[in-house]
Amino acid sequence: MSVVVITGGTAGVGKATAERFAQAGFDVAVIARSEAGLTDTVTLLESYGVQASGISADVADASQMKHAANRIESTFGSVDIWINCAMCTVLAPFEECSDEEFRRVTDVTYLGYVHGTREALRLMRPRDKGTIIQVGSALAYRSIPLQSAYCAAKAAIRGFTDAVRCELLHRRSAIQLTMVQLPGVNTPQFDWARNKLWRSVRPMAPVYQPEAVAQAIFDAAHRHTREVWVGKTSIQTILGNMLFPAFLDRQLAKKAWQGQQEREPLTRPAPGNITEPVEGLHQARGRFSAEAKSRAVSIDSVLPGRVTLAVAGLALIALYKRCKR
């Protein structure tokens, strides 16, 4: 039986991904902080007839992650797939984020991936076999206002992943390292995030259901690909930022501020899950199902380059034939 490990696997994209792998017959180990969330998730996964385990650990703590990895190996044996998905964020203008808040988002959302990748490699290297998936975001390429710490962390994950991938290639390792860049997703994230804006927050539209994203992650884990972009908006955003970054700066300055807020005012700022998990929100879907898309197109990141080369090649052939006339 194949084994998958998922950090942040008790809610949102992480939980939807854990369920997708359980549906396919994988044994699943989930790492998260909330004991209640872990209990609910393990019960769900076991209903598919697989073995499941929930380990309470803070991904920002390297020693806790090492302990969790050791427990998983002793319970299930070798790990085939490790998925880093844990995150936290603060929605506020940069100057209103405290040093402690910025550091905590960095510790969880970026260093949590570093610690998870380190433990995954430690478990996989003896067999020189396995796949590590980094669940990223289009925001790794194109930052937006009001989430400076989160955007910075996602960009850092991308830089870190590229460096480690090169090292694995240098060592001729068979371990696969893949990043999956996501669009806005309908998860409880927007109710558990620390919100200092005095209005309810939401993902930038259009929004996708977590199950659609989970399918893309599942597919990426089963083929050797460098990076996957999920959702039309992710593809457009990433390519658009490569071509017109200054234009997007101006557009996001106009639209992304209000685009991440709803009309309903908050009576007080939401404390969020920065230091402690928010209980009662450990489901995959959030409150945006009425508008969320159930399917998401995905492409490998190498495709745009190949298309560009193909178009350039055809143009050169046409030019050559024209010059011979």
Q: Which residues are catalytic?
A: 150
- The one-character DSSP state at 33 is S
Long-range pairs for 36-43: beta carbons < 8 A, 24 or more residues apart:
36/279, 36/282, 37/10, 37/11, 37/277, 37/279, 37/282, 38/10, 40/10, 40/282, 41/9, 41/10, 41/15, 41/282
Where in 18-146 does DSSP place strands (E)?
27-32, 52-56, 81-84, 90-91, 131-137
Contact 125, 175 (CB under 8 A): yes
What is the Cα–Cα distance from 280 to 261, expressed in whole angstroms? 22
Which SS3 state, helix, strand or coil, does residue 225 take? coil
Q: Are strands 298-300 and 3-7 parallel, antiparallel or unpaired?
A: unpaired
Q: What CA–CA distance (Å, rounded) separates 207 from 214?
A: 14
Is 273 within 8 Å of 218 (Cβ atoms)?
no
Residue 314 vs residues 90, 300, 305: alpha-carbon distances, Å: 48, 22, 14
Parallel, antiparallel or unpaired: strands 298-300 and 227-230: antiparallel
Which among 185, 204, 195, 189 has a CA at the least distance from the CA of 101?
Answer: 195
CA dihedral 229, 230, 234, 240 (to 10 degrees): 40
How many residues are there in the chain? 325
Six-digit token string for 35 = 């004991």
